[in-house]
Amino acid sequence: MKNVPFQEAGTAFFQYLQVEKNASSLTVEAYRKDLSDYAAFLKAENIGGPESADFQTARLYFSRLYEKRLKRASISRKISALRSFYKFLKREGLIENSPFAASSFQKKETKLPKFLYEEELAQLFDSFDQEKILDQRDYAIFELLYATGMRVSECCNMNVDDLDPDLGTLLVKGKGSKERYVPVGGYAVEAIEYYKANGRKLLLGKRKSLEAIENALFLNKNGTALTARGVYYVVNKRVKQVSQTLQVSPHHLRHTFATHLLNNGADLRVVQDLLGHEHLSTTQIYTHVTKDRLKEVYDHAHPRAEKKEG
């Protein structure tokens, strides 16, 4: 077994994530912190380098994480980071076996994604005043998020030329610089084109600096690109205006997009492509359906669902 200096192994691993896996900067930074915590644990336990760890070491680290009262999602991410790290070390021939390869580690708690019913969406869409500049923008954002299921970061990365209104398609710049084309419904296309022709032009005129033309589709009140934080603010503000009980985030609109497609018969792999998921297992969480839809499908598909008269 080779001696594996932690710093050198970590540097090589992060380079692998960025170059070969095309991981986002946020993912790399999260993994960097997870490996740093693990290195501190090995040092505190006098275990040595990563090659000295065994299954019992992994179990002990798992216990230490629980003692810190971390959320299951945080623990799951840390274990996932270490699995990837050791898998990389094994691929490079630096270790023979991964202490984190065992499947017995508890996975994070699975929660069904929250989604909106069509009546709730209609209530939100009907609340916008198209005579107001910011309402034009906000309405276009709501329509776009629901029409495409795109992430907030993808929404903020949109440029004015990314939408082809004639074809009804949109270029989406996703995680890790990956790009995909997705269809966009007529309501969203109309909302975006109206905003571009009216509200966006007025917002663009409010820029204090005229050094460069702002290409971002969605602009803030100062005429510069709307940030992810700004999109969250827009959604939260609108929801509070409409309902005191409804709780909606931009990601809920992504959940709603996927749920409504599947409830109406869309193929799971098609939804996977539309969402930009790398693995089908990520999309499968959206296969929950409403009770009415479940009963409808069962009654229609099962030969003995309903007893025949006579």
Domain residue limits at 76: 6-91
Residue with tokens 């309903």: 306
Which domain CATH number covers 18?
Answer: 1.10.150
Which strand (E) or helix (H) includes residue 296? helix 291-301
Give domain status of residue 308, yes or no: no
Same domain, 200 and 264: yes
Same domain, 188 and 252: yes
C-alpha distances (whole Å) from 195 to each of 48, 73, 143, 145, 221 are: 60, 39, 12, 15, 14
pLDDT digits over 207-234, tens only?
876 555 678 999 999 999 999 999 999 9
Pull the structure tokens for residue 200: 């966006």
> How many CA atoms does the CB half-sphere of 102 hold within 13 Å?
11
Give the whole-angstrom CA distance, residue 91 versus residue 93: 5
Same domain, 71 and 15: yes
pLDDT digits over 145-194, tens only?
999 999 999 999 999 999 999 999 999 988 777 899 999 999 999 999 99
Q: How high is the pLDDT of residue 128?
A: 96
Give the whole-angstrom CA distance, residue 169 versus residue 18: 29
Return the amino acid letter for 296: E
Same domain, 136 and 281: yes
Same domain, 66 and 168: no
Same domain, 278 and 162: yes
Question: In total, how many domains does the chain have?
Answer: 2
Q: Which of 46-60, 97-111, 279-293 has the weakest average pLDDT?
A: 97-111
Give domain status of residue 98, yes or no: no
**Apex CA 149: angle with CA 232 and CA 283, to 5°?**
115
Which domain CATH number covers 147?
Answer: 1.10.443.10
Which residues participate in catalysis according to the annotation? 151, 175, 251, 254, 277, 286
pLDDT digits over 63-73, tens only?
888 888 888 87
Same domain, 264 and 139: yes
Q: Say whether pTM exceeds 0.75.
A: no
Mean pLDDT of the residues in the chain: 85
Pull the structure tokens for residue 170: 């949109």
